Amino acid sequence: MSITRPAAAVALLTGLTLLAAPAHAQYYTQSTWITPFGGIYLGGSLNSVNSSLANSIDVGSSFTYGARLGHKFNSAIGLVFEYAHADPSVTIAGGTANGEKLSDVHTNVYEGTFNFYFGNDPNTQGYLALGGGADNINSSGSGSNPGGSKTYFGTVFGLGGQKFFNEKWGATLDGRYRWVNVNGSDSVYCQPFFPYYCYAYDTSWYGSGEITLGVTYKFK
């Protein structure tokens, strides 16, 4: 069947089906699966010590996409690896530079979590995800600012649900929040145009969120 509905409608219907549809799939205690996904990246903020120029440096929201590869050891626990990419923009909030765009950034997330599953129906289960990983953040440069790339390490917490419609195919709805240590006392962003202000962060932690919907294929 060809896909003709808008992506938002498909995501909504799939999410509702994930929660409401009856289960008919054969269940395997152990399974290995892959989930390509798409969704929204929810950027966070870094407070600025340049209070007259800016109250904070805000990372915006953007589309995100990626994939997860998981192995379920039994009905209660599994191990999952994720890659995700997003391209948010960075702007100034508050102060004399309020609303000023600083740059575009490209984020690549590499992380692993232990998934703890719950639910009476083995084909329709919720899960709690706990783990950690690395966020690689690339900023686009212009003018006198060449941009750059940094990798930060942190933790992740997630909640989700997984529904299998038959022996192979299912859907996964996932939400997660990440904290990475940006070593704030040493982090400075300098805007690439006159008057070339620099903004120093007064925090060591940056938080971001992710809400995604994916199609899951079970190898076994």
What is the pLDDT at residue 184?
52
DSSP state of 220: -
Task: Indicate the average pLDDT of the chain.
Answer: 77
Query: What token pair was written down for 132?
Result: 């950690």
Is residue 138 within 8 A of residue 131, CB to CB? The reply is no
Instruction: Assign 99 to helix, strand or coil.
Output: coil
Domain that holds residue 117: 7-218
In a domain, residue 177? The reply is yes
Question: In this predicted model, what pLDDT tens digit does every residue of 142-183 receive, in sequence order?
Answer: 444 455 677 888 999 999 999 999 989 999 999 999 988 776
In a domain, residue 196? The reply is yes
In a domain, residue 112? The reply is yes
What is the CATH classification number for the domain harbouring 19?
2.40.160.20
Quickly list DSSP for 120-141.
SSTTEEEEEEEEEEEEEEEEEE
Instruction: Identify which has the larger pLDDT, 209 or 203.
Output: 209
In a domain, residue 130? The reply is yes
Chain centroid to Cα 137, Å, comes to 13
In a domain, residue 116? The reply is yes
Binned at pLDDT 50, 70 and 90, residue 100 comes out as low
In a domain, residue 192? The reply is yes
Query: What token pair was written down for 86?
Result: 């997003």
Mean pLDDT in residue range 188-197: 53
Query: Which CA distances in Å does 156 have to 21, 26, 79, 113, 142?
Result: 29, 31, 14, 8, 32
Percent helix / strand / coil, the chain, rounded to 5: 10, 60, 30
Is residue 213 within 8 A of residue 173, CB to CB? The reply is yes
In a domain, residue 1? The reply is no
Is residue 191 within 8 A of residue 181, CB to CB? The reply is no
Q: For 6-10, 130-134, 135-139, which range has the lowest pLDDT when averaged over its residues?
A: 6-10
Residue 128 clears pLDDT 60, i.e. is over it: yes
Q: For 24-38, 66-80, 185-199, 201-215, which range has the lowest pLDDT when averaged over its residues?
A: 185-199
d(CA 159, CA 144): 42
In a domain, residue 2? The reply is no
Question: In this predicted model, what pLDDT tens digit does every residue of 16-56 receive, in sequence order?
Answer: 444 444 444 445 578 899 999 999 999 877 766 555 665 66
Query: What token pair was written down for 31?
Result: 């399974």
Binned at pLDDT 50, 70 and 90, residue 8 comes out as very low
The beta strand positions in 49-144, using DSSP E, are 56-59, 62-72, 77-86, 89-93, 101-118, 124-142
What domain count does the chain have? 1
Instruction: Assign 10 to helix, strand or coil.
Output: helix
- Amino acid occupying residue 121: D
